[in-house]
Structure formats: C-alpha cells, structure tokens
Amino acid sequence: MKFRNGRWLMKKGAKSFSPKVVYETDVSGGAVLLFAPSFGVGHRGDTLGGVCFTVEISAPLCDTLRVKIYHHKGSAGAGVCFPLNIPGCTLDAEDSPELLTVRSDTLELRINKADCSMSFYRCGKLLTSSSGDDMSYIVEDWQGDAYPGGASYMCQRLALGVDELIYGLGERFTPIVRNGQSVTVKNEDGGTSTDQSYKNVPFFLSSRGYGVFVNHPESVDFEIATETVNRTAFSVAGEELDYFIFCGGTMKDVLCRYTDLTGKPSLPPRWSFGLWLSTSFTTDYDEKTVMSFIDGMHERGIPLSVFHFDCCWMKPFHWTDFLWDSDVFPDPEGMIRRIHERGVKVCVWINPYVAQRSALFDYGLAHGYFLKRADGSLWQWDMWQPGMAIVDFTNPEAARWYAKGLESLLDMGVDCFKTDFGERIPTDAVYYSGADPQKMHNYYSYIYNECVYNVLARHGGADGAVLFARSATAGCQKFPVHWGGDCWSDYSGMEQSIRGGLSLTCSGFSFWSHDIGGFESSATPDLYKRWCAFGLLSTHSRLHGSTAYKVPWLYGEEAVAVLRFFTELKHELMPYLWSEAHRSSSSGVPMMRMMALEFEDDCNCRYLDKQYMLGDSLLVAPVFNSEGIARYYLPHGKWTNFFTGEVVEGGVWRTEGIGYMSIPLFARENSVIPVGISHPNAEYSFKSNIELRVFGLTGRAETEVYDGADVIIKASFDKSQDRFTVTGGAGCRIKIGSADTELTAEHESGTLPK
C-alpha cells in the first residue's frame, strides 16, 4: 500500500511514526527486546505519552531471524496463524552502549541505538537495511494521540541494492521480476490475465541471497521498488508486524530455509506424474462418453494415468453434495471399477461451497457447519451456486462431516480430488473458532486443502496422496499438486501460465500443472500441439478445458501423434523425474524452477520467464507462436540437445524453427539422466530397466536413482580419472555420447568408454 505523496509528504490526513532511538534493551531471555520511542527523550517528562515501538528479535532457525514489531500489543487478531516449524536456534547477542548485534549462524543484525537503524549481514556482507522512517506506524485521518482517527498500519521498508531483483510472492501472472510492481497478497478468482492470483504467498526472494516471509495470513501489501524505488515495502493493517528474514549462499539455500519453516513439499504418488484427462467443465458427458475417451486414448497408444470428472458429475444446482448424478451415472461404482480395470485412476471435482439445493445443506445449516453473518444468520450469496453456503473448517465437527463425504467417495473407488475454489471467502463472516475473518480470507485455502489432503493420506497409505488444488497460501506446498487456474486458449494464456507457475515455484511450491490447451474457449490445433509439449514437460500434466473437450483426435491426427510422443517421453524420463521429485521434497528446491534460481551469476537469466529448468539437469524452452520459432537462452557451459545429441556451447541466445515433434530440451554438462528402457506407464519398475545417459562429461558427474522410496542406483563418472563407478546397477546400460556399455554386476567400476 502506498502511504506517501512523493518523497517528502504523506497522503492527505495520514500520519507516520518511526522509532528515533533505542531507549531500552533486554537481552537476558531467549529473544532480544527493544523499546524504541518515536521521539527523543531528553527528560522524564518526555516519557508521558506518544507512539513507541516494541521490537522482539529471535532466532527460530539457523541463518534466520524473526522480527516482531508492536505498537499496541493487545490488538492482534484472534487465533489465526500459519503452522510453522520453529525448533529454535542459539541466539548470540552483544549489547554495547552504541550498538546491538544479534546473530543466527551466518546471519547478523546490527542495530544502531542512536537512531534505531538496522542492517542485515551474511558473513560480513550487507544484504539489506532499514533506516530513518523505513519502520513505521501509520494512521489514516490522524486527529491526535487521544483520537487517532482512521485505520492503522504497520509498515517495514528494506533497502534494495543496485541490480538487486525480487522474485516470488506466490503465483503472479505479471513479469517474474517483481521490481516495479505493487502486489496485494490476497487470494482472488481472477483468471490468469490480471494482477490477481489464486495462490498468494507473503514471501519474496532476493537475488542478493536473502528472503523475507511476512508472517500474516491476512492481506499483505507489497511495494517492490515502487513508492520508493530503492526499497521493498510491506504493510499490514493493525498494530503489529511479524516477519522472518532468511539468508543463504544462494537463492536455493534461502528456499530451503523458508520451507524448513513453513513445510517441505510432500511427495505425490508416482502415478500422478502421468497424463491426466478431464471431461472438461461445461461439456456434455456420461459414462459412454467417458469410456469412449479412455478407450480412444488406449486405441491410439496414448498411455493415460488419471481420468478426471469435473463439476457435472453432480447434478446442476446441487454442488457440492458428493452424490453422483444418477440420471447420467446410474452405476458409479461399476463405472469406477471399469475405469480401474483399464489401469486408470479416478479424480473428481469438489469445492468447499454447498448450494441451497444440495442434499447436505439442511443438515449443515442445522448443525452450524457453515460460516455465519454477524447477526447470527447464515452467510449466503448466489455467486457460483444459488444460495451458496461455505463450510466452516474451523469447526472440527464440520471438518469431520465434510471429510466423511470424501471418504464415501474414496470407499467407492475414487483415487483423488480436484479441490477447486477456496478464494471467494468473505471478510465479514463469523467463524466457529472466533477467528478474525480478515486473517481467514487467504488462510481458508490452507485449512480446506489440508482437510482434503489428510483424508487422502489416510486412505493412500504408502502410495501417497495427491490433489489438484487451485487456491493456496504459505505452507500449502505440503498439499500438492497445484494448477494454474483459468487461462485463455491462446499463446498469451500459455505465457501467463508459465509465468504464474515459475513465480509459484520460487515461493516454496514444487509440483505444478496447468490446463494443457488452455481453459477458456477452444485451442487451435497448432496451440494444442505446442501446449502438449510444454504440458508433458511440467511436473504434472492435465488435459482440461471449459467448453471444449481436450481429447487429441478432435485436433487432428498429428495432435494424436504429438501427444503420444510427449507422453512417452515423460514416461521415459520417469526415473529422472521421480528421483528429482524425491530431492525436491526433502530440500524444498522446486523441480520446475526459473532460470535465475539455477544460474544466479548469469545476468541473461535474471529476467527469463518463458523457459525453465526441470530438475537439476534439463532445460525446457516451450514455443510460443504459430510460426514454430523458438527463441531461448543457453547459459554458459556445454549443452546437449536431448533428441539429436547436438552439443552447443552456452552463453548464447538461439533462434530456430521447431517442428511439433520436438521442443528445445537440453541436458546440462556433467549430468547423468536416468531413463527407462521399457516404459509402458508412469509406474513401471526401474530395477534392471535403466539407462544412464551421461551428457557433456568434462569433469565429475554423479546421480542417485530412486525407485519407490529407496535409492537403487548410485553412479559417478570422473573424466579426470577416466573412471566410472555404479552401485546397484546390475542390468542397467550406460551411454556416454555415442558409446554404450552394459553392467552385469551389482557393484561395478571401470574405464570410461571411448
């Protein structure tokens, strides 16, 4: 939020207060406390009133400091906070008359007592700072100490260095560098072509190797090099501000720290990485249609992992009631069994809203399971569904009731859920828990998806749980997968989708998808084929639309061949993708990541938002035009075209024509990419079915290959020693350039093939 009128003035009626001096400190406990008035104290009479700041600094994790700033400490909102992992860390504090120094491992905060300025350092290098009026308490319509007037806000500004760039803040469809953007972190159902987004995360990542998480579930406003062009600013309504600052040697290290705090991305089941096909939204379909789609994919040799039933598996006006429309699906159990017999999982659409016509409505109303208005009446409106009520997940009984409906579907054979919506949540509702409705607006997406994910986890067991979620906030990376929302079926919509996805993944999320072919309107055959290539080289891949079916034969026989080719390619890459997924789940570094996250020292990568790394070793550059022209950048080093074997020296921009049966897909030098020799689906066994492809070996390359939860192969290749070592790789093949070899023992080492 912007509070100023240029550099020197405030907006009309607004009054700003900032700490002028550190008057008192306390370093005796587990946290450091500061008391900082917004005025100088010359004598005791000066202490009789005025705005003062209480600042609490703690070390919740290694290389992490938490800063809590209060004006009136008793004004915090009720009972709504992100679940955080805070083991605590040794806090090292030094207090001298002039300077207070606080350390958490390599992160150091120096506070000048004379003016309350703050500077954050990592290993002696300045990261960012705050001085003057950067920390402030702001009141609109100020009328004096006794009559403060309008709304109040807490604001913190942090200095931006020369060339410093900011990323993150959740899913954003604007350019991936946040500098020059005003961002309101508030979940909205606004499509992919505006500055609104479905997944808002109050966390940003700096190219200087630090990150900031604003620990407020309510709406948070960010001004990134806007109101003051050499500052990032974040503000919240009320009397307190709570934020964490993380540091690391790289931005990936910072993401590891952030996900240490908010939770690591859970690992989805392996089958979820295969191809998903949807009924689409408003299309007409019944069991005959569904089975014709599944059989049509099989007849055309396109492996299918999941079939998704969108909204209309339930009767119109009845959403959500968890009941199949008996007029269209008279035998849902039998249908699900027949789908399973074809080796395909079943997903069904749900949302957290209950229409007045729903069979669940009267029971939920009688038992107080919905959000209410301040006068005690039910909160209802006619947006999305007539007479729509909203499930109150803060009521444990309501959550169990909702979960019971999900369990009935799982007992029937349903394998997973698409958790749609969760963004249109009122800020004037009354919750069972008494929670502040402003704070609940974004946080509702957490408790909604958590409820559904936990039901799936209880049923999935060792196989794992997966949902397809649209809304999210901080911590929702624990409930994968997320998809990018309602995009248009054109190249602009495809571009918006990739930007939103890369922004989300650099905000702590690892597993992401989008509607292949676009959602709104219908794709051209050209767009459909290009989007298939992009979609099958994302972590998760779903064909879905609004008014149009997305089966490939409707887009021509070449579209069938393209979809089959890239589905088979993804299955071939499953040993690599599954192993990368394991590493991502344990580290918090996303599988699908923006180029700047991987190549921080390459200035050409800093603004790229139309190409990405898929894991550590593969670069993907989708085609975004009907002319078939790809323009992309290869960072420094040797890159090998995955399809042709062409080796290209990096540090160059390339422009080339790309046929539909290809996409710029390059392997990084010194990388080992395990692929499947036989790959009928996404769940095949990797044991004795692996080829290790070694690309651009100039030094040392190594990998670990997972099958299920276990590492089955460890391999290293050393050019300087002209040797390789493979453990657990009996029967696997090795390919280095054009040379092949085959392992015959469990533990083998040998000379690199020439």
CA atoms within 13 A on the CB side of 49: 3
Pairing mode of beta strands 231-237, 220-224: antiparallel
- By the 8 A CB rule, do 484 and 420 touch? no
Paired tokens of 690: 């692996």
CA atoms within 13 A on the CB side of 241: 27
Provide Rg for the chain, Cα atoms.
27
Nearest-angstrom CA–CA distance, 311 and 420: 9
The residue annotated as part of the active site, out of 63, 223, 392, 423, is 423
Nearest-angstrom CA–CA distance, 214 and 168: 12
Query: By three-state DSSP, how is residue 152 classified?
Result: strand
Q: Is 421 exposed, middle or buried (0-12, 13-18, 19+ CB in 10 A)?
A: buried
DSSP state of 472: B
Question: Among candidates 673, 721, 718, 723, which has minimal Cα distance to 694?
Answer: 673
Residue type, position 601, single letter: D
- By the 8 A CB rule, do 533 and 505 touch? no
Longest alpha-carbon distance in the chain: 88
The residue annotated as part of the active site, out of 108, 133, 218, 420, is 420
* Helix runs in 192-348, H state only: 251-262, 287-299, 332-341
The residue annotated as part of the active site, out of 239, 253, 310, 486, is 486
Handedness of CA 298, 336, 344, 279 (dihedral sign): positive
Question: Among candidates 297, 425, 125, which has minimal Cα distance to 681?
Answer: 297
CA of residue 606 relative to chain centroid, distance: 19
**Helix crossing, 396-412 with 332-341: angle to 10°?**
60
Handedness of CA 137, 143, 147, 149 (dihedral sign): negative
Question: Is 141 marked active-site?
Answer: no
Where b means 16+ CB within 10 Å and e means fewer, 351-378 reads: bbbbbbebbbbeebeeeebbbbeeeeeb
Question: Is 423 marked active-site?
Answer: yes
Residue type, position 39, single letter: F
- By the 8 A CB rule, do 346 and 414 touch? yes
DSSP bridge pairs for 512: 482
- By the 8 A CB rule, do 471 and 445 touch? yes
Nearest-angstrom CA–CA distance, 206 and 127: 9
Cα–Cα distance list, 49 to 130, 141, 145, 658 (Å): 25, 20, 8, 71
Q: Find out whether the peptide bond into 481 is cis, omega within 30 degrees of 0.
A: yes
Nearest-angstrom CA–CA distance, 570 and 684: 12
Q: Is 677 exposed, middle or buried (0-12, 13-18, 19+ CB in 10 A)?
A: middle
Residue type, position 664, single letter: P
Question: Is 691 marked active-site?
Answer: no
Nearest-angstrom CA–CA distance, 454 and 559: 38
The helix (run of H) or strand (run of E) holding residue 557 is helix 557-572
Paired tokens of 525: 């055959």
End-to-end CA distance of the chain: 62
DSSP 13-60: T-EEE------EEE-SSSSEEEEEESS--SSGGGGSSS-EEEEEEE--
Annotated active-site positions, please? 420, 423, 486
